Amino acid sequence: MSQHPKPDQQPAHIVLGVSAGIAAYKAVFLLRILQRDGFRVRVVPTPSSLEFVGRATWEGLTLESVNTDVFHGGGADHVELARGCAAIVIAPATADVIARIANGQADDLLTTTVLASDCPVVIAPAMHTQMWRAAATQENIARLRKRGYIVVGPEDGDLASGDHGAGRMSEPEVIAAHVRKAYGVSGDLAGKKILITAGGTREAIDPVRFLGNRSSGRQGIAIAREALSRGAEVTLITSNIEAALIPQGCSVIDAPSAQDVYDAVMSHLGHSNALVMAAAVADYRPRAASASKIKKEENESAPPRIELTETTDVLRSVSSSPDRPRVVLGFAAETGDQNTVLSYGAAKAKRKGADYLAVNAVGADIGFGDVPNYVYVLNQEGSVVTQGGGTKADVARILIDLISQRFDTMEA
Ligand code: CTP
């Protein structure tokens, strides 16, 4: 494989090949990530993939004409696409497109472009488990690997058929990280290990009941996705998060209770460059969880009293630990008007000792769940260093930018 063009040498484009699988919708997110990275992306769908995501979507998002066959526009599209192409990424790659490429077929614009180019090719297979495991597919994949193709996934998970198994396309962030690597750009967080807590802890009252909170974990997940897509090695400590939300490509540690979060964070401190405490960790837990279910009839005279005891404050423990990572960012969920939220936030920033505290207003319908978010980021002295809002992904970008800048200043 020849040396591919480096970003500073020419304005190369990336070809995003999309074949006909239900995961084609995820290719839209991959396109957005690559565009955000500054790449010009030329989308080349196979003809039947347009059944899943139409031409109008690709043209609308790239502002370029999108073709599927070689004879459109004079017949030289594939040469023009292949020339100056820094990388080709095919996501999803169906069993059919994998077979055609492995055999050197050139029967549509995508396969012809692949044949005409000598740049790195990243493929992200997506298909039903049986098709993935079929000897023919495995032989084709082995041939492509031998030719130097980068095969990303597929992952184990729920499939569109309702089955569970290998065949699910890797997440767009993970594929994008491989594309960047193939292109020669590894992301501003390459080589950095980031520990992220996400979700809300549950403190057992008895085997069926707990004290919990309304955190869905979405903000922490968005931060993990952003860090992954920028090349970081992410360890995600999850407290009661829906499995489907957890991105692939990070190491996951399950930590249902405050004590579990404490143990998981402390055991990873020494080898983390940054910690983001996005989890809503309980401040109090029942002093002793009942070993058996608390029964109503045993408490007829009065409701049972649950004695609480304080949990360990993970963020404060980290901030004063000799193993403290280079950058520590905590969250503060506060209720009230803007002034109240900010003054609680400033007091907390001083108390917690983290480098940054992302303060946001929460309530029954703000801050928690699948809703937009707004954060003020305070430094240890309680002054606002940056602020912004939007989707949880937008907030994640603001925070990861800040962490990345902090690494830069520390390394400068
Ligand atoms: N936190 C922690 N350990 C705890 C409780 C909270 O590490 N036992 C972390 C959270 O993950 C978050 C930050 O501390 O990053 C702030 O959490 P918050 O609940 O807002 O702060 P508290 O100190 O508990 O203050 P209060 O509940 O009084 O608002």
Q: Does pLDDT of 224 surpass 80?
A: yes
Percent share of the chain, pLDDT over 70: 93
Q: Which has the higher per-residue pLDDT, 320 or 363? A: 320
Please report which confidence band the pLDDT of residue 5 belongs to, taking 50, 70 and 90 as the band edges: very low
Residue 75 is predicted with a pLDDT of 53
Residue 410 is predicted with a pLDDT of 84
When pLDDT is averaged across residues 76-96 and rounded to a whole number, the result is: 88
Average pLDDT, the chain: 90
Smallest Cα–Cα separation from 39: which of 11, 66, 74? 11
Kindly state if the Cβ of 315 falls inside 6 Å of ligand 1: yes
Kindly state if the Cβ of 275 falls inside 6 Å of ligand 1: no
Kindly state if the Cβ of 333 falls inside 6 Å of ligand 1: yes
Residue 297 is predicted with a pLDDT of 83
Residue 81 CA to ligand 1 centre (angstroms): 52
**Residues 65, 56: Cα–Cα separation, whole Å:** 9
Protein residue whose Cα sits closest to atom 9 of ligand 1:
315
Question: 13-183 and 193-287+304-411: same fold?
Answer: yes
Encode pLDDT of 242-298 as tens digits.
Answer: 988 888 778 999 999 999 999 999 999 999 999 999 999 999 999 999 999 999 888
Residue 390 is predicted with a pLDDT of 87
Please report which confidence band the pLDDT of residue 159 belongs to, taking 50, 70 and 90 as the band edges: confident
Please report which confidence band the pLDDT of residue 11 belongs to, taking 50, 70 and 90 as the band edges: very low
Could you give the angle at which helices 109-116 and 95-102 cross, rounded to 10 degrees? Answer: 40
When pLDDT is averaged across residues 309-315 and rounded to a whole number, the result is: 98
Contacts of 244 (CB under 8 A, 6+ apart): 158
**Residues 203, 286: Cα–Cα separation, whole Å:** 7
Encode pLDDT of 371-404 as tens digits.
Answer: 667 899 999 999 999 999 888 989 999 999 999 9
Name the architecture of domain 13-183: 3-Layer(aba) Sandwich (3.40)
When pLDDT is averaged across residues 203-218 and rounded to a whole number, the result is: 96
When pLDDT is averaged across residues 173-188 and rounded to a whole number, the result is: 84
Residue 36 is predicted with a pLDDT of 86
Residue 160 is predicted with a pLDDT of 77
When pLDDT is averaged across residues 91-109 and rounded to a whole number, the result is: 97
Contact 38, 20 (CB under 8 A): no
Q: Strand order of the sheet with strand 384-390?
A: 251-254, 233-239, 193-199, 274-277, 327-334, 356-361, 373-379, 384-390
Encode pLDDT of 247-256 as tens digits.
Answer: 877 899 999 9
Q: What secondary structure, in 3-state letters, does 233-246 show? A: EEEEEEECCCHHHC
Q: Which two tokens stand for residue 365?
A: 């319908």
Kindly state if the Cβ of 332 falls inside 6 Å of ligand 1: yes
Residue 77 is predicted with a pLDDT of 76
120-134, 353-367, 384-398: segment of lowest average pLDDT: 353-367
Please report which confidence band the pLDDT of residue 6 belongs to, taking 50, 70 and 90 as the band edges: very low
CA angle 36, 38, 42 (to 5 degrees): 90
* Residues labelled as active-site residues: 213
Q: Which has the higher per-residue pLDDT, 83 or 185? A: 83
**Residues 56, 62: Cα–Cα separation, whole Å:** 10
Residue 283 CA to ligand 1 centre (angstroms): 7
Fold of 193-287+304-411: Rossmann fold (3.40.50)
CA dihedral in degrees (179, 220, 223, 30; nearest 10)? Answer: 40
Residue 411 CA to ligand 1 centre (angstroms): 30
Residue 311 CA to ligand 1 centre (angstroms): 10
Q: Does pLDDT of 369 surpass 70?
A: no
Residue 291 is predicted with a pLDDT of 94
When pLDDT is averaged across residues 9-16 and rounded to a whole number, the result is: 72
> Which amino acid is present at 290?
S
Q: Does pLDDT of 90 surpass 70?
A: yes
Highest mean pLDDT out of 33-37, 104-108, 388-392: 104-108
Residue 366 is predicted with a pLDDT of 59
Q: Does pLDDT of 200 surpass 90?
A: yes
Kindly state if the Cβ of 281 falls inside 6 Å of ligand 1: yes
162-166, 309-313, 327-331, 336-340: segment of lowest average pLDDT: 162-166
When pLDDT is averaged across residues 340-347 and rounded to a whole number, the result is: 94
- Domain map of the chain by residue range? 13-183, 193-287+304-411
**DSSP-derived pairing of the beta strands 233-239 and 327-334:** unpaired
Residue 188 is predicted with a pLDDT of 86
